[in-house]
Amino acid sequence: MMFARLGIFLLVCATLFAEGTKQDPKAVEIAQSMMQAMGGQDAWNAARYLRFDFKVGIGGETKADRSHLWDKHTGRYRLEDKNKVVLMNLADKQGTVYVDGKKVEASDAAKALKAAYGAYINDFYWLAMPWKWMDSGVNLKYLGRKPQGDAVVLTFGKVGLTPGDRYQAFVSPKSHLMTHWEYVLQSGDKGSWDWQYGDHGGVKLASTHTSPPDKRIDMGDVRILKDVDSAFFTDPVRKLSDLK
């Protein structure tokens, strides 16, 4: 995939039904304090609609620019990517795809839906990875206090698309936020990113990521919304830039 060659990769959320999860007590303590600093689990669970972007810049050149709207409670989802609009439900991965306003049919639609789901997994993880530490299947191991903060290694059970990925996260002992992230993917790619956050009604989500010398991921227009016109999940003509 294009992003793997660029060092911007498909980050897989470790999800349900994993067995044998290993989480040491100190790492769990750090994860819980981190989520509390981000607003608390109750506030995160109550968040209904998430609006965010995924804008990748390398050397001043835009490599990706797409926009998302997700109804966390029902799974309804909208993706806008250049001239393509995807309207689907993440629960069953079914939906419709439009290119230049025209509905895509048959196998082309199936491929586009699969790609859209992958884009959601990837982009949402960049937005909200710290909220995913306590998911079933995520192994947590505390490595001690480092110059960048408290170091915790995240590995994965038999879940997701790339369970061989290994992440090392650094949590500030002052802010209790994850501010730096290093990774080794099962593909062999390596990298590191600094994280910055924005506050959205008491819930913190990523705003910007930077990786020297010239890589940047901007989450764009990040919002948690209480109400959204249902037409945004059914009408390909609507634009997320018009969502107020």
- The two tokens of residue 160 are 């997701």
14 lies in some domain: no
CB 18 within 8 A of CB 9: no
Domain count, the chain: 1
| Nearest one of 177, 129, 139 to 27, comparing CA atoms | 139
Task: For residue 196, give the CATH number of its domain.
Answer: 2.50.20
Asked if residue 3 belongs to a domain, the reply is no
What pLDDT, on a 0 to 100 scale, did the predictor assign at position 109? 97
Query: Parallel, antiparallel, or unpaired: how do β-strands 190-200 and 178-184 relate?
Result: antiparallel
In a domain, 59, yes or no: yes
pLDDT at 160: 60
Is residue 66 within 8 A of residue 84, CB to CB? The reply is: no
From first to last of its 244 residues, the chain has per-residue pLDDT tens of: 334 333 444 444 433 334 468 999 999 999 999 999 999 999 999 999 999 999 999 999 999 999 999 999 999 999 999 999 999 999 999 999 999 999 999 999 999 999 999 999 999 999 999 999 999 899 999 999 999 999 999 998 866 656 678 999 999 999 999 999 999 988 888 899 999 999 999 999 999 999 999 999 999 999 999 999 999 999 999 999 999 8
* 2 occurs within a structural domain: no
Residue 73's domain comprises 27-242
pLDDT at site 20 = 63
CB atoms within 10 A of CB 144: 8
Share of the chain residues as helix, strand and coil, in percent rounded to the nearest 5: 25, 40, 35
Residue 81 domain-assigned (yes or no)? yes
Q: What pLDDT is stored for residue 186 in this prediction?
A: 80
CA of residue 237 relative to chain centroid, distance: 25
CA distances from 164 to 65, 92, 161, 186, 240 (A): 27, 25, 9, 5, 35
pLDDT at 188: 84
Whether residue 39 is contained in a domain is answered as: yes
